[in-house]
Chains A and B, each alone.
Chain A
Amino acid sequence: MLILELLIAIICGIIAGTITGITPGVHINLVSIMLLSASGYLFGFLQPITLAVFIIAMAITHTYLDALPSIFLGAPDADQVLNVLPGHRLLLKGQGYEAVKLTVIGSFLCLVTTIVFIPILIPVTPVIFYFVEPVMGWILLVTSVYMILHERGMQKKVWALCVYLMAGILGIIVLTLPNLEQPLLPMLSGMFGISSLVMSLHNKVNIPEQKISEEISVSKKDLSKITAASTFSGGITGLFPGIGAAQAGIIGAQLVGNIGDYGYLILNGGINTVNFMFSLVTFYTLEKARNGAVLVILELIEKINYSELLVFLAAALVVGSICVFLTLWFAKKFSKLINIVNYKYMCISVIVFVSVLVFVFSGWKGLLVMMISTALGIIPISVNVGRNHAMGCLLLPVTLFFLL
Chain B
Amino acid sequence: MLLTFLLLVILRSSNLKEKTLFKLAMICLVIGLPALYFLSLSIEIKEADISKISLGDVDKQVKLVGKVASVRNFEKASIIEITQPSKIKVIMFVENVTLEDEQEIEVFGKIGEYEGKPEIIADVVRKKIK
A: residues with CB less than 8 A from B are: 1-3, 6-7, 43-45, 47-49, 101, 104-105, 108-109, 112-113, 115-116, 213-220, 223-224, 227, 305, 307-308, 310-311, 314-315, 317-318, 320-322, 324-325, 328
B: residues with CB less than 8 A from A are: 3-4, 6-7, 10-19, 21-22, 24-26, 28-29, 31-33, 35-37, 39-44, 108, 123-124, 126-127, 129
Give me 12 other A-B pairs in contact (C-beta within 8 A), A3-B37, A215-B17, A320-B28 excluded: A2-B40, A3-B41, A44-B126, A44-B127, A105-B21, A108-B21, A112-B6, A116-B4, A215-B16, A311-B40, A314-B32, A324-B22
B11 touches which one: A48, A227, A325 (CB < 8 A)? A227
12 pairs, CB–CB < 8 Å, chain A vs chain B: A3-B41, A45-B129, A101-B21, A108-B25, A112-B6, A116-B7, A217-B16, A220-B14, A314-B36, A315-B32, A317-B3, A322-B29
CB <8 Å contact, A220 and B11: yes
User: How far does the alpha carbon of A1 sit from the alpha carbon of B45 in the complex, in Å?
Assistant: 10
Closest chain-A Cβ to B130's Cβ sits at a distance in Å of 11
A49 touches which one: B17, B21, B43 (CB < 8 A)? B43
Closest chain-B Cβ to A284's Cβ sits at a distance in Å of 14
Residue of A whose beta carbon sits closest to that of B17 = A215
CB <8 Å contact, A321 and B35: no
CB <8 Å contact, B16 and A216: yes
- If over half of B's interface residues share one DSSP class (helix, strand or loop), that class is named, otherwise mixed; here it is helix
| A307 with B39, Cβ < 8 A, contacts A216-B15, A220-B12 known | yes
CB <8 Å contact, A109 and B10: yes
CB <8 Å contact, A324 and B21: yes
Residue of A whose beta carbon sits closest to that of B125 = A43
CB <8 Å contact, B22 and A325: yes
Candidate in B13, B28, B42, B129 with the most chain A CB atoms within 10 angstroms: B28
CB <8 Å contact, B129 and A321: no
User: How far does the alpha carbon of A324 sit from the alpha carbon of B27 in the complex, in Å?
Assistant: 12
User: How far does the alpha carbon of A2 sit from the alpha carbon of B28 in the complex, in Å?
Assistant: 21
User: How far does the alpha carbon of A344 sit from the alpha carbon of B3 in the complex, in Å?
Assistant: 45
CB <8 Å contact, A115 and B18: no
User: How far does the alpha carbon of A219 sit from the alpha carbon of B12 in the complex, in Å?
Assistant: 9
Query: Which 9 A-B residue pairs are closest in the complex by CB-CB distance?
Result: A317-B32, A324-B25, A318-B32, A321-B29, A314-B36, A321-B28, A314-B35, A321-B25, A2-B44
